[in-house]
């Protein structure tokens, strides 16, 4: 009885503790970067003047996973394991990211979308569903606007449609700051140009400052079945822009995942995978 009676008191005392004294919520953590599973078929595709790293797992209808800016295909390790039993899962390192090379061409989402199309052609993939995180989600939307005939569905997580959708002072956020620091370490470990991270970051930052910049009419033109998703604690993307994006795309679903941030897929991979599988199976 004494123990039971003490529980509400202990809970109230715990709730009153300063944030630093409590265990961090999962949206306040950046779990380790997963690794790519064993058993995939990997290689390099010579497309658009660069060499794109790719890996393929499983069998079935093709699903392409596109990572976010500064990241690499390893971040999808948990999703590959969750999807490869039902789908052919294709991951790639975007140009200049991870193991892929880059050239002097200025970064743009149109250019990176053309890389995805070229990789699909190289792999003889006529149509695919695309799951994109952050920049990967933006690339998926770019494809839906310009090349809908190559897509079956898109699941766009933490994407914005113009620069005003990005929260200010993002670099001061502890989780996102930790990601940027980690991205530099991973770049130096994986890249064919390991000493050029700062130049690469500057090029990507220039793109982020001005792109994407789609009109409402362009978004309303999308006819690909679309799910717009984000975490309820995304430190990078404004909720208002996520909601506007879903409202502008005809028939798009809106999914706000609970208890996670911009890095939902590694913070709560089971939840993320279940949401993707549910969307793909509809």
Q: Average pLDDT of each block of 10 consecutive residues along the chain (282 residues)?
A: 30 36 83 97 98 98 98 98 98 98 97 98 98 98 98 98 96 94 97 96 96 98 98 98 98 98 98 98 96
How many domains, in total, are found in the chain? Answer: 1
Residue at 138 is within a domain: yes
Residue at 185 is within a domain: yes
Instruction: Check residue 23 and give its pLDDT.
Output: 67
Residue at 275 is within a domain: yes
C-alpha closest to that of 70 among 160, 205, 266, 262 = 205
C-alpha closest to that of 148 among 134, 128, 162, 132 = 128
Residue at 239 is within a domain: yes
Residue at 22 is within a domain: no
Task: Give the residue numbers spanning the domain of 123.
Answer: 39-162+169-281
Residue at 237 is within a domain: yes
Q: What is the dihedral of CA 34, 39, 43, 47, to 10 degrees?
A: -70
Mark out the alpha helices in 125-268 (DSSP H runs). 135-146, 174-190, 197-210, 216-220, 239-248, 264-267
3-state secondary structure of 65: strand
Residue at 181 is within a domain: yes
Residue at 4 is within a domain: no
Please report, for the domain that includes residue 92, its CATH number.
3.40.50.1820
Are the beta carbons of 53 and 73 closer than 8 angstroms? yes
Tokens 């990572």 belong to which residue? 67
- pTM of full prediction above 0.85: yes
């Amino acid at each position: 009885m004494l123990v039971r009676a003490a529980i509400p008191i202990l809970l109230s005392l715990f709730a009153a503790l300063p944030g630093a004294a409590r265990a961090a919520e999962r949206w306040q953590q950046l779990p380790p970067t997963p690794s790519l599973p064993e058993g995939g078929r990997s290689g390099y595709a010579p497309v658009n003047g660069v060499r794109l790293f790719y890996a393929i797992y499983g069998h079935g209808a093709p699903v392409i996973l596109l990572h976010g800016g500064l990241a690499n295909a390893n971040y999808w390790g948990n999703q590959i394991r969750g999807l490869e039993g039902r789908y052919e899962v294709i991951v790639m390192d975007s140009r200049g990211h991870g193991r892929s090379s880059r050239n002097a061409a200025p970064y743009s989402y149109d250019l990176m979308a053309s890389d995805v199309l070229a990789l699909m052609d190289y792999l003889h993939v006529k149509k695919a569903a695309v799951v994109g995180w952050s920049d990967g989600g933006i690339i998926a939307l770019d494809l839906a606007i310009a090349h809908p005939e190559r897509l079956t569905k898109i699941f766009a997580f933490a994407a914005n449609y113009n620069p005003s959708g990005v929260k200010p002072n993002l670099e001061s956020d502890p989780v996102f700051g930790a990601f940027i620091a980690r991205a530099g370490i991973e770049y130096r470990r994986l890249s064919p140009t390991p000493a050029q991270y700062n130049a690469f970051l500057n090029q990507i930052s220039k793109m982020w400052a001005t792109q994407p910049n789609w009109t409402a009419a362009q978004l309303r033109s999308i006819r690909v079945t679309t799910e717009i998703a984000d975490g309820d604690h995304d430190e990078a993307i404004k909720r208002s822009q996520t909601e506007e994006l879903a409202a502008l795309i005809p028939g798009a679903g809106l999914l706000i995942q609970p208890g996670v941030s911009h890095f939902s897929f590694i913070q709560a991979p089971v939840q993320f995978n279940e949401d993707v599988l549910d969307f793909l199976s509809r």
